[in-house]
A and B are shown apart, each in its own frame.
Chain A
């Protein structure tokens, strides 16, 4: 089991990775290419935003879980307050997550947001308010995912630390106990 960590791994979940990238790339490609071929703004808007929304859903619910073992959502508790929840797989599986998968996950997440920002700057320069609207929506969706997963990852790291502390502490105490029982 352990030697795998040192060997060059392939993607563990190629299909998930594919879908993770697919909708992002499709939204960007559609937006960029449609300006050349389609003159109807409504279609561009609806398709791009639809693809971006699908991508948001896929990243949040599917690839986040499978590629990096993280998940975040919002709940409203009984007191009527909104609570953000962050969930992660337990430590064993987190450690076993494929490195390539998570590399792909994070990098595409950031790159997409950057790409949308650049496109937004272009349409700002050209004073196209409608296209700015499209970009605004897509950017919001990307940024929401980035923020959510980053918080989730920080949370997971805190848990790992706490867990390590706890485990060390209980290991030490059980060692001491067994030492005393021997004596």
Chain B
């Protein structure tokens, strides 16, 4: 993306005046009409929009803010008010931005949009990973927009549930559960990478975190009902579910001969979490 890296640009003092001149030039041409308007941004590589699966992407119709002091006082920072800038940027209301004077869509969207986008991403990731769906065979596609919020919530929730069910040493239980799950996810990912597998670090962390969802459900049920037999059954079922969820991603990432080597630690970790759930009372 960067052009020649050499510092052929003149010293700062003179370049500052050049930049002022350029700004005036831009403003002059903006006022005169779009015919000879220079791109407000250098043509960046086509910016792939963050693949949002479910929520419709709301096109940003808001060009960059005009003046610093011009901000509308709104509750919890919303987008800056539309600016009376060149007509060229107003024409770019579509999602696929051409990088021409259009405010980068995600940079000026209202906060609420960001929240909604992130939440819907969590939900869609969860659905993709844990529930049967047609995309499971292709791991690259399935967890394309990974995020770590889902795993974070699930790990904390599991720790809290375990801690709540424990009658003694609640803090230790929580700390141990959190540390084991977090460190476990990292180590499992490293394991796959060291086995020569092709997996992206964060994608795998994200996946392993989402696969904790069934165990969360199991832990919650065990918290509410106290019989041992029920606990064993519930834990077995949710354990199988978690392993089933993690299986395609892990196995397709490594060489077929090493599949077992990659999968065994995953199952081991989930089994040990299952034991924790059963054993705590």
Task: Give Cα A97 to B179, complex, Å.
Answer: 41
Task: Find residues 50-108 in chain B having any chain A CB closer than 8 Å to their own CB.
Answer: 50-51, 64-69, 71, 73-77, 80, 101, 103-104, 106-108
Give a binary string over B92-135; 1 marks a CB under 8 Å from any A CB, 0 the rest.
00000000010110111001001000100000000000000000
The segment out of B169-177, B207-215, B272-280 that lies at the interface is: B169-177
A158 and B174 contact, CB distance less than 8 A? no
Closest CB in chain A relative to B154 CB, distance in Å: 13
For residue B198, which residues in chain A have a CB less than 8 angstroms away from its CB?
80
Q: Is A162 an interface residue (CB 8 A)?
A: yes
Q: Is B268 an interface residue (CB 8 A)?
A: no
For residue A10, which residues in chain B have a CB less than 8 angstroms away from its CB?
69
For residue A76, which residues in chain B have a CB less than 8 angstroms away from its CB?
140, 144-146, 200, 203
Given known A42-B171, A65-B107, A74-B202, contact A167–B22 (CB-CB < 8 A): yes
User: Secondary structure of the B side of the interface?
Assistant: loop
Task: Find residues 116-162 in chain A having any chain B CB closer than 8 Å to their own CB.
Answer: 129-130, 133, 158-159, 161-162
A95 and B23 contact, CB distance less than 8 A? yes
Q: Is B238 an interface residue (CB 8 A)?
A: no
User: Secondary structure of the A side of the interface?
Assistant: helix
In the complex, which residue of chain B has the Cβ closest to the Cβ of A161? B9
For residue A63, which residues in chain B have a CB less than 8 angstroms away from its CB?
77
Closest CB in chain B relative to A110 CB, distance in Å: 22
Task: Give Cα A158 to B145, complex, Å.
Answer: 27
For residue B255, which residues in chain A have a CB less than 8 angstroms away from its CB?
none
For residue A159, which residues in chain B have a CB less than 8 angstroms away from its CB?
41-42, 44
Which 10 A/B pairs are nearest by Cβ-Cβ distance?
A93-B64, A41-B171, A12-B68, A90-B40, A80-B140, A16-B77, A98-B68, A90-B41, A42-B174, A163-B42
Q: Is A19 an interface residue (CB 8 A)?
A: yes
Task: Give Cα A91 to B19, complex, Å.
Answer: 10
Residues of B within 8 A of A (CB): 1-3, 8-9, 15, 18-19, 22-23, 25-26, 38, 40-42, 44, 47-48, 50-51, 64-69, 71, 73-77, 80, 101, 103-104, 106-108, 111, 114, 118, 140, 144-146, 149, 152, 156, 159-160, 163, 170-172, 174-175, 178-179, 198, 200-203
In the complex, which residue of chain B has the Cβ closest to the Cβ of A95? B23
For residue B1, which residues in chain A have a CB less than 8 angstroms away from its CB?
158
Q: Is A15 an interface residue (CB 8 A)?
A: yes
For residue B179, which residues in chain A have a CB less than 8 angstroms away from its CB?
133
Closest CB in chain B relative to A99 CB, distance in Å: 9
Task: Give Cα A161 to B107, complex, Å.
Answer: 21
A4 and B69 contact, CB distance less than 8 A? yes
Task: Give Cα A133 to B3, complex, Å.
Answer: 43
For residue A35, which residues in chain B have a CB less than 8 angstroms away from its CB?
none
